[in-house]
Amino acid sequence: MNKTGSGSVAGGRHLSTARGLRPLMPEGRRSAMLAALRLTVRGGLAGVWVRGRLPDGPLVWAANHHSWWDPFIAGELLAGAGRRMVLLADVANMRRYRFARHIGVVGTDELRGALAAVRSGAVLVIYPEGRLLPAGPPRPLAPGAAWTAARAPARLCSVAVRVLMRGGQYPEAYVVFSEVEAAGTAAEVTGRLRERLHEDVRGVDSLSARADPRRPLPGFTRVVRGRRSWDERVDATRGSLPWPRR
């Protein structure tokens, strides 16, 4: 689901949308699907490292979208924090991945449902660049995140995400949380959001260019442990296997 639009919404046993209430799949199957998505992160990445803190309460998660992993990382971090995720995706993507509705994804034509979920305490995940883009500085942002934060109302958090191939076998994900002041016009808030995203993404890129590739970036805390590289697994068993003496 890479052509994500402005967010996703999940709520209880039913999903509230502009068209009314739609029943979700049985809770057991839904939980199994969410667990499978979380295993995708833990099985495909070396880990997820964060800097900053996700604000409490109703929240709009506004992130750059430069990697296939982005919505999976959002789901893993929010589930780990005990937060309910709502992911806003474009209508074409919703038609392609209909099952995603059952795990908390809504289309950009269902904003009433998204707002209702945020008002009930969910975190609305939005990619205001509007589509998956090559890694680089954030592109111009749509005003949807600012509009939603004002309309809900909710706090607004800039979430800079970088998935990097560094000195290990598996990619490393780095996430920076920075709350953005949501007061003001949509244009003013969107401008502040873009500046914050730009600064945080640039900061991660700068650290990556200078840091030892065999060590995590300084200033970040690992909150999700993923897969170890082959050499790390060898090193971990070196004391118990009959390795030749040097």
Cα 157 to Cα 61: distance, rounded to the nearest angstrom:
5
Reading phi first (left if > 0) and then psi (alpha if -120 to 50, else beta), residue 31 is in alpha
Residue 233 domain-assigned? Answer: yes
Residue 243 domain-assigned? Answer: no
Residue 119 near residue 152 (C-beta atoms within 8 A): yes
- Where helices occur in 142-241 by DSSP H, the ranges are 144-151, 186-210, 230-237
Q: In a 10 Å sphere around its CB, with 0-12 CB exposed, 13-18 middle and 19+ buried, how is residue 114 labelled?
A: buried
Cα 164 to Cα 167: distance, rounded to the nearest angstrom:
10
Q: What is the pLDDT of residue 239?
A: 62
Q: Three-class SS of residue 120?
A: coil
Kindly list the distances between the CA atom of residue 58 and the CA atoms of 31, 61, 83, 86, 223, in Å, as whole numbers in the listed order.
23, 10, 10, 11, 22
Residue 110 domain-assigned? Answer: yes
Q: Three-class SS of residue 33?
A: helix
At position 242, the amino acid (one-letter code) is: P
129-152 burial, b for 16+ CB within 10 Å, e for fewer?
Answer: bbeeeeeeebbebbbbbbbbbbeb
Reading phi first (left if > 0) and then psi (alpha if -120 to 50, else beta), residue 153 is in beta
Structural domain span for residue 209: 4-237
CA atoms within 13 A of residue 35's CA, in its CB half-sphere: 6
Residue 213 domain-assigned? Answer: yes
Residue 130 domain-assigned? Answer: yes
Residue 246 domain-assigned? Answer: no
Residue 69 near residue 41 (C-beta atoms within 8 A): yes
pLDDT in tens, the chain (246 residues): 454 544 333 333 444 444 443 444 567 777 888 888 899 999 999 999 999 999 999 999 999 999 999 999 999 999 999 999 999 998 888 888 888 888 889 999 998 999 999 999 999 999 999 999 999 999 999 999 999 999 999 999 999 999 999 999 999 999 999 999 999 999 999 999 999 999 999 999 999 999 999 999 999 999 999 998 888 888 777 766 554 443
The CATH number given to whatever domain includes residue 176 is: 3.40.1130
Q: For the chain, what is the domain count?
A: 1
Residue 37 domain-assigned? Answer: yes
CA nearest to 115, candidates 151, 88, 167:
151
